[in-house]
């Protein structure tokens, strides 16, 4: 058991999986000698050599497309996108091929690959380095989309993603990379993809978030508890697709009230989808409209103004109060 930050936990998962299975390879821009711009692949090049830790040419579609080829030949590529903002070139290969091989061949072929990408704001970075576009990948049938929120679940979910038989988009909240440390067990730990986690039990309101939004969300829940004594059930989605709608709907059947927090723009988002699910499965239990605390439908502003747009603990707190007082 060692205390690790999220980047270290990701490196730990990659290292253990590469040691366990030699079909696992890592590829991407600067992932080799340099160890990745966030150091998530540090030491792997030295340990496993350039054939397994590949510094590729600078071409995202190329990285995704060649990973598909490797996966078709029985390898397990773990590709890194330097930033999710540069990943849109791979949508073509992921939607056009990775997501479809299993269905188009009725199971004869499959593409077990992982695309890791740091996403989200809050690190004072240049344009294209702050977006939260999980809904875009989540919209594509055949892909799985996973978002950890802390070091321990990042490690266990990355291991699950590498062992998964399907293409997985693994989105890493870069704001949380070095924000805090957790104990990560040395022994194997694998979380199930497609399962949300109830991180805090409660009866008065369901609060849902994922990724970097978990920390302000938990802060807000704690503040409301201190102030009003409210027992809030907090759910960490962990998987965006396939979405664990039942976990949220079952919780709302108990609490009758729900607030969803996301970094992403509001319209056609994961929050929108959750509200649709609640409408279908727990409509008669609702005592207040489900509230979204989201970013706005604007082009993500430069980092000078970025945090004004991002849901803050205070904004989440106000949404909780409004939902409780409805």
Partner 1 sequence: MPIKEIETFGVSYLQILDETGKVDTSLEPALDDAELIRLYRGMMHAREGDQRMLKLQRQGRIGTFGPCTGQEASVCGPTLAMTDRDWFVGAFRELGGRLMRGDSFTDYLLFHNGYEEGSTLAAERRTLPFSIIVGSQCLHAAGLGYAMKYKGEKDAAVVTFFGDGATSEGDFHEAMNFAAVWQAPVVFVCQNNQWAISIPRENQTRSETLAQKAIAYGMPGVQVDGNDALATYAATREALDRAYSGGGPTLIEAVTYRMMMHTTADDPTKYRSDDEVDGWRARDPLTRFRTYLEGKGIWNDDLQAGLETELKAEINAAVEAFEARTEFKPDVAFDYVYGTSHPEIDRQRAEFLDELKKEKPNG
Residues with catalytic function: 129
Smaller CB separation from partner 1, 193 or 221: 193
Count residues near partner 1 (CB under 8 A). Answer: 48
Looking at residues 134 to 153 of the shown chain, list those that interact with partner 1 (rule: CB under 8 A): 141-142, 144
CA distance 209 to 295: 13
Smaller CB separation from partner 1, 9 or 114: 114
Binding mask 164-193 for partner 1 (x = CB under 8 A): xxx--------------------------x
Nearest distance from residue 139's CB to partner 1, in Å? 14
Q: For 92, what's the count of Cα atoms within 13 Å in the CB-facing half-sphere?
A: 11
Find the part of the chain contacting partner 1 (CB under 8 A) among 70-78, 196-204, 206-214, 307-315.
70-78
93 near partner 1 (CB under 8 A):
yes
81 near partner 1 (CB under 8 A):
no
272 near partner 1 (CB under 8 A):
no
Smaller CB separation from partner 1, 194 or 301: 194
Estimate the share of the chain in helix, then strand, then coil, as percent rounded to the nearest 5: 40, 20, 40
Nearest distance from residue 61's CB to partner 1, in Å? 6
Q: How many CB atoms sit inside 10 A of residue 302's CB?
A: 12
Query: How far is CA 4 from its chain centroid?
Result: 18
Options 21, 46, 183, 246; binder of partner 1; rule CB under 8 A: 246
CA-to-CA dists, residue 253 to 29, 195, 228, 247, 278, angstroms: 46, 18, 22, 10, 9
CA dihedral 317, 318, 323, 326 (to 10 degrees): 150
242 near partner 1 (CB under 8 A):
yes
Smaller CB separation from partner 1, 277 or 324: 277
Number of H helices, E strands in the chain: 12, 14
Given a contact cutoff of 8 angstroms between Cβ atoms, the answer to whether 197 and 25 are in contact is: no
Which of 256, 324, 316, 276 shows the shortest CA–CA distance to 292?
A: 316
State the residues that interact with partner 1 by CB under 8 A: 25, 51, 56-57, 59, 61-62, 64-75, 77, 89, 92-93, 96-97, 101-110, 112, 141-142, 144, 164-166, 193-194, 242-243, 245-246
């Amino acid at each position: 058991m060692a205390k690790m930050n999220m980047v270290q936990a990701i490196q730990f998962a990659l290292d253990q999986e590469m040691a366990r299975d030699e079909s696992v390879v890592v590829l991407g821009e600067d992932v080799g000698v340099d160890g990745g711009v966030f150091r998530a692949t540090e030491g792997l090049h030295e340990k496993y050599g350039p054939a397994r830790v590949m510094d590729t040419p600078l071409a995202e579609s190329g990285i995704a497309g060649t990973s598909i080829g490797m996966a078709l030949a029985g390898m397990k590529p773990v590709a890194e996108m330097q930033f999710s903002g540069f990943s849109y070139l791979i949508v073509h290969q992921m939607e056009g091929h990775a997501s479809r091989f299993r269905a188009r061949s009725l199971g004869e072929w499959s593409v077990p690959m992982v695309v890791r990408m740091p996403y989200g704001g809050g690190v004072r970075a240049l344009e294209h380095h702050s977006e939260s576009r999980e809904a875009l990948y989540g919209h594509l049938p055949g892909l799985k989309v996973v978002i950890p929120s802390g070091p321990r679940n990042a490690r266990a979910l990355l291991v699950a993603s590498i062992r998964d038989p399907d293409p997985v988009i693994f989105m890493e909240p870069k704001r949380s990379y070095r924000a805090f440390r957790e104990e990560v067990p040395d022994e194997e730990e694998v979380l199930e993809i497609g399962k949300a986690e109830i991180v805090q039990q409660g009866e008065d309101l369901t609060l849902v978030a994922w990724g970097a939004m978990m920390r302000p969300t938990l802060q807000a829940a704690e503040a409301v508890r201190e102030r009003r004594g409210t027992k809030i059930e907090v759910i960490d989605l962990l998987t965006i697709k396939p979405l664990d709608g039942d976990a949220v709907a079952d919780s709302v059947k108990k609490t009758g009230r729900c607030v969803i927090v996301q970094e992403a723009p509001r319209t056609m988002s994961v929050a929108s989808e959750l509200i649709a699910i609640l409408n279908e499965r727990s409509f008669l239990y609702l005592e207040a409209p489900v509230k979204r605390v989201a970013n706005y439908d604007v082009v993500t502003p430069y980092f000078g103004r970025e945090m004004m747009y991002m849901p803050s603990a205070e904004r989440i707190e106000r949404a909780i109060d409004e939902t409780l007082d409805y």
